[in-house]
Amino acid sequence: MEGKMSPNSFIDPQSLAAAGRLKAPHGKFRVVGVDTFEGPTADYLVGDFGTSAEAIQVAHKNGGEMNICYVYDDTGEIVFTQGTL
């Protein structure tokens, strides 16, 4: 599934979202993965990238069945989603 999708149903309060770590550093794009098979605490930081194109390419490569990758901008907004539940 591509496009915008809220990760909140998969993010546990002890995870990256609760820690305020979804927002990318200034001028960067952050890719966060969620292993939906493992459950709500299975989110992980893939990395920070200099361009949205680079981050989206990484999300395409890493997102798949039961693994969703979200690309966040430096305001904390989701700009791209790749993967399925």
Query: How confident is the model over 15-40, as pLDDT tens digits?
Result: 666 566 788 999 999 999 988 887 66
And the tokens for 58?
């990484």
Between CA 68 and CA 24, with CA 58 as vertex, the angle to 5 degrees is 80
* DSSP one-letter string for the chain: --S----TTT--TTSTTTTT--SPPTT-EEEEEEETTT-TT-EEEEEEESSHHHHHHHHHHH-BBTEEEEEE-TTS-EEEEE-B-
Span of 5-14, 23-32, 41-50, 73-82 with lowest mean pLDDT = 5-14
Q: Is the pLDDT reported for residue 13 higher than 50?
A: no
Domain residues for the domain of 10 are 1-85
pLDDT at residue 22 in the model: 84
pLDDT at residue 36 in the model: 84
pLDDT at residue 21 in the model: 76
User: Model's pTM, two decimal places?
Assistant: 0.76
pLDDT at residue 1 in the model: 40
Could you give the number of structural domains in the chain? Answer: 1
